């Protein structure tokens, strides 16, 4: 039986501004098992990135983790000091950001960007670190890595920079990799290459992964389990096949009905009316109630729903399953 590697329990992360306290992640829970790929999907602004940055404790001011637990290998990272977290970042939990041009420091060449963390975490000398960095660059498909490792981020294409980001994140062999929409800024053909690369390396290294995206098509091809996020909540979670064949939450159904199919025909894509809640917006009931076609007046719009288990490893946060 696979063991939980990461357990996020009732996580609340808010931003403390002059206009008041603005919750971004509001009681979200998620488990990632050893060797498992969890797809985290939802609209822009739903809290996906804030949740991932909370895991590695990199929430910028005025953001703050308010409550909850982030258990990594049984240890609560919220209780860790900054010095302890520096040891976890990279060697325990790796991160691939959406835009490699901004995540790779432009004033350092690739040798410095990759070798320095290897020297710090693995306690090896620069020659050993360089050899390992070159090996990783070759593994992710960078041609002539011995030569190109001395070049700077701006000398690489977008796809190559993302490959370098992947190599940098995996060089320390982390137990968990968080990929925050790593293909968004790339064209379709390069996206496919990066996804194939990530999938292959994940299987080879048996690395657990949280893959964040707003694209359900991408999520379906890479994940074992899918968590759907809306308004700071995880509204549905299920194994990938179960979620796509038996979606329960009205928001999940709306997302799936908005995906174009190759068959086409007379099927029209459904439009979801309204807008998602803004960060900090106070909603007394379900976050999705104002947009939900199945909303129960006096119930959905007045009290927040609890999680409900609909089947094996399938949970949904919706009044339709409680009442």
What kind and span of H or E run contains 34? Answer: none
Distances (CA, A) of 235 to 50, 213, 226: 16, 16, 11
What counts of helices (H) and strands (E) characterise the chain? 11, 12
Cα–Cα dist 110/166, whole Å: 13
- Checking if the pLDDT of 323 tops 60, the result is no
- According to the model, what pLDDT value does residue 272 have? 81
* Range 16-40 average pLDDT: 93
- B/e letters for 13-25, b = 16+ CB within 10 Å, e = fewer, are bbbeeeeeeebbb
- According to the model, what pLDDT value does residue 98 have? 80
Q: Which residue has the higher pLDDT, 102 or 213?
A: 213
Q: What is the pLDDT of residues 277-289, one digit of tens each?
A: 887 778 889 999 9
- Checking if the pLDDT of 1 tops 70, the result is no
Distances (CA, A) of 221 to 36, 117, 195, 294, 303: 13, 31, 9, 29, 36
Q: What is the pLDDT of residues 180-198, one digit of tens each?
A: 988 877 788 888 888 898 9
Contact call for residues 278 and 289 (beta carbons, < 8 A): no
% of the chain surpassing 90 pLDDT: 69
Q: What is the pLDDT of residues 202-229, one digit of tens each?
A: 999 899 999 999 888 889 989 999 999 9
Cα–Cα dist 51/44, whole Å: 13
* Range 73-91 average pLDDT: 94
Cα–Cα dist 243/131, whole Å: 43
* Of 258, 208, 288, residue with least CA distance to 37: 208
Query: DSSP states of 272-305 as a string?
Result: --S-PPPTT---SS-TTGGG-TT--TTTTTTSPP
Contact call for residues 314 and 239 (beta carbons, < 8 A): yes
H-type alpha helices, 172-215: 188-205
- Tokens 């999940």 sit on residue: 252
Q: What is the pLDDT of residues 221-265, one digit of tens each?
A: 899 999 999 999 999 999 999 999 999 999 999 999 887 766 655
Token code pair at residue 69: 């637990």
Strand partners, 317: 307
Cα–Cα dist 178/169, whole Å: 9
Set out the domains of the chain in order of their start, with CATH numbers: 4-92+176-185+207-273+306-318 (3.40.50.300)
- According to the model, what pLDDT value does residue 230 have? 95
Record the pTM.
0.91
- According to the model, what pLDDT value does residue 266 have? 62
Q: What is the pLDDT of residues 122-167, one digit of tens each?
A: 999 999 999 999 999 999 999 999 999 999 999 999 889 989 999 9
Predicted confidence band of residue 178 (pLDDT cuts 50, 70, 90): very high
- According to the model, what pLDDT value does residue 100 have? 72
- According to the model, what pLDDT value does residue 264 have? 58
Our CA angle for 149, 154, 156, nearest 5°, is 60
Contact call for residues 149 and 114 (beta carbons, < 8 A): yes
Predicted confidence band of residue 35 (pLDDT cuts 50, 70, 90): very high
What kind and span of H or E run contains 258? Answer: none
- Checking if the pLDDT of 2 tops 80, the result is no
Q: Which residue has the higher pLDDT, 11 or 273?
A: 11
Contact call for residues 3 and 25 (beta carbons, < 8 A): no
- B/e letters for 177-203, b = 16+ CB within 10 Å, e = fewer, are bbbbbbbebbeeebbeebbebbeebbe
Predicted confidence band of residue 79 (pLDDT cuts 50, 70, 90): very high
Mean pLDDT of the chain: 90
* Range 166-181 average pLDDT: 93
Evaluated on CA atoms 289, 291, 294, 295, the torsion sign reads positive
* Of 185, 167, 181, residue with least CA distance to 219: 181
Measured in whole angstroms, how far is the alpha carbon of residue 236 from the centre of its chain?
Answer: 15
């Amino acid at each position: 039986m696979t063991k939980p590697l990461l357990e996020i329990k009732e996580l609340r992360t808010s931003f403390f501004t002059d206009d008041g306290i603005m919750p971004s992640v509001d009681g979200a829970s998620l488990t990632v098992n050893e060797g498992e790929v969890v797809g985290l999907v939802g609209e822009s602004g739903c809290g996906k990135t804030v949740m991932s940055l909370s895991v590695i404790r990199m929430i910028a001011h005025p953001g703050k983790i308010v409550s909850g637990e982030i258990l990594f290998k049984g240890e609560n990272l919220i209780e860790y000091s900054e010095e302890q977290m520096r040891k976890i970042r990279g060697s325990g939990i790796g991160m691939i950001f959406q835009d490699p041009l901004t995540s790779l420091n432009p004033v350092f060449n690739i040798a410095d960007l990759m070798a320095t963390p290897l020297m710090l975490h693995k306690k090896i000398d620069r020659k050993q670190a360089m050899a390992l960095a070159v090996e990783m660059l070759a593994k992710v498909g960078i041609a002539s890595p011995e030569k190109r490792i001395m070049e700077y981020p701006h000398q690489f294409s977008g796809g190559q920079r993302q490959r370098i980001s992947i190599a940098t994140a995996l060089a320390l062999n982390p137990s968990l990799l968080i990929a925050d929409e790593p293909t968004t800024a790339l064209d379709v053909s390069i996206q496919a290459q990066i996804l194939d690369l990530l999938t292959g390396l994940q299987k080879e290294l048996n690395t657990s992964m949280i893959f964040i995206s707003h694209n359900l098509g991408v999520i379906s091809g890479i994940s074992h389990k899918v968590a759907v996020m809306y308004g700071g909540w995880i509204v549905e979670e299920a194994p990938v096949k179960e979620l796509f064949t038996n979606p329960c939450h009205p928001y999940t159904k709306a997302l799936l009905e908005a995906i174009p199919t190759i068959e086409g025909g007379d099927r029209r894509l459904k439009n979801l009316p309204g807008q998602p809640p803004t960060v900090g917006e106070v909603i007394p009931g379900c976050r999705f109630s104002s947009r939900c076609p199945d909303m129960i007046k006096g119930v959905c719009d007045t009290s927040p729903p609890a999680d409900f288990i609909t089947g094996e490893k399938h949970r949904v946060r919706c009044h339709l399953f409680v009442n």
